[in-house]
Amino acid sequence: MKFLDQAKIFIKSGDGGDGVVAFRREKYVEFGGPDGGDGGRGGDIVFESVENLNTLIDFRYTQHFRAKKGGNGAGSDRTGAGAQPLVIKVPVGTQIFDDERENMLADLDKPGMRIVLCKGGDGGFGNARFKTSTNRAPRRADKGWPGEERWVWLRLKLIADAGLVGLPNAGKSTFLKAVSGANPKIADYPFTTLHPQLGVVRLSMTEEFVLADIPGLIEGAHEGTGLGDRFLGHVERCAVLLHLIDGAAGGVVDAWRTIRHELEAYGGGLSEKPEIIVLNKTDAMTPRELSSRKAALAKASGAKVMAICAVTGEGVKEVLRALQNVINESRKS
């Protein structure tokens, strides 16, 4: 299934049903009078978050959603049938913005959340509503009120407990595949990952968390360089960031500073999130190189630096435990 994390759609709630002009005609009743019923209410547009979706790809092919009109009234004071709401199902983590993308209308970040975005129009009055002491036989009936319509933007921000960030070829996809059941594409060229990937990491029978891998960032990503920084939205909800750095490539301090700069430029509170710094590819470094690069990175960042080899599994369990500890703390608060 292809991944799509934003889409623009048109929504329109149903118009109200029309009221009718009708008069009571019954044997032995000399003065029947008006009995035209009201129109029914139009259908609402409802968005609902569901757990079994993880992409907005369906909205690439269906972009217009219109709820049904309410039923017209009838004689004998019969009200028209109200139309059923049109329920649009979206993945958990979907945000809904107005046409200008400036105002967020809804944030469906939990399963089963529902929001009525466009209310159906009210039904028009039938002529029975207009009967008065001086107007015994009104011939007036109202049309139903029109429904609401608008264009909206849907943006998906995946729900994950931890997020992987780093330069291209830092080994993020390899790490995700090693610790979870995910099967991301892995190759020896940059930007192998073109869209976010999710994996479930299970440390024990009672401990697990969701890990998100996003495409690699490069210098100037916040200005659109490379794949840009749009995918950083998928780690905004994470409790902790795992900053993976290619230790074998050298220049580890510059690599760390590049990603930190992009996180600060993006905003969204990413630069304030807890960060676990990990040097990857220890199998391609000598012990002396590993020691010096860890020391340089620790001095620059002011934080503890861990080292792993995602391919062999060396040090991976310690990193996962550190992630789980941070996540457990965030879940308590």
Residues 154-165: pLDDT tens digits? 988 877 788 888
- Please tell me whether 323 is known to bind a ligand: no
Give the single-character DSSP code of 58: H
Checking if the pLDDT of 67 tops 90, the result is yes
Whole-number average pLDDT of the chain: 86
pLDDT band at 141 (very low <50, low <70, confident <90, very high): very high
pTM equals 0.75
To the nearest whole percent, how much of the chain has pLDDT over 70?
91
pLDDT on residue 266: 81
Domains of the chain: 6-156 (2.70.210.12), 162-331 (3.40.50.300)
- Please tell me whether 310 is known to bind a ligand: yes
pLDDT on residue 221: 62
**Strand spans (E) along 222-318:** 240-246, 275-280, 305-307
pLDDT band at 226 (very low <50, low <70, confident <90, very high): low
**Average pLDDT rounded to a whole number, residues 180-188:** 64
Instruction: Report d(CA 8, CA 23) in Å as an integer.
Output: 48
**Residue 170 contacts residue 246 (beta carbons within 8 Å):** yes
- Please tell me whether 215 is known to bind a ligand: yes
- Please tell me whether 281 is known to bind a ligand: yes
**Average pLDDT rounded to a whole number, residues 163-170:** 84
For every residue of 119-164, DSSP letters joined together read: PPPPPPPPGGGG--SS-SS----PPPPPPPEEEEEEEE----SEEE
- Please tell me whether 183 is known to bind a ligand: no
Among 235, 256, 231, 232, which residue's Cα sits nearest to residue 246? 256
pLDDT band at 127 (very low <50, low <70, confident <90, very high): very high
Q: How far is CA 306 from the centre of its chain?
A: 32
pLDDT on residue 121: 95
**Residue 178 contacts residue 255 (beta carbons within 8 Å):** no
pLDDT tens for 85-106 read 999 999 888 999 999 888 999 9
**Average pLDDT rounded to a whole number, residues 225-245:** 76
- Please tell me whether 280 is known to bind a ligand: yes
- Please tell me whether 253 is known to bind a ligand: no
Host H or E run for residue 149: strand 149-156
- Please tell me whether 111 is known to bind a ligand: no
Name 242's bridge partners: 164, 276
- Please tell me whether 132 is known to bind a ligand: no
Host H or E run for residue 263: helix 252-266
**Residue 76 contacts residue 35 (beta carbons within 8 Å):** yes
CA angle 159, 112, 328 (to 5 degrees): 40
pLDDT tens for 144-154 read 999 999 999 99
Q: How many CB atoms lie within 10 A of CB 69?
A: 25
Checking if the pLDDT of 216 tops 50, the result is yes
Handedness of CA 52, 57, 61, 63 (dihedral sign): positive
Checking if the pLDDT of 189 tops 70, the result is no
**SS3 of 186, please?**
coil
pLDDT on residue 1: 47
Instruction: Report d(CA 322, CA 316) in Å as an integer.
Output: 10
Among 147, 159, 145, which residue's Cα sits nearest to residue 116? 147
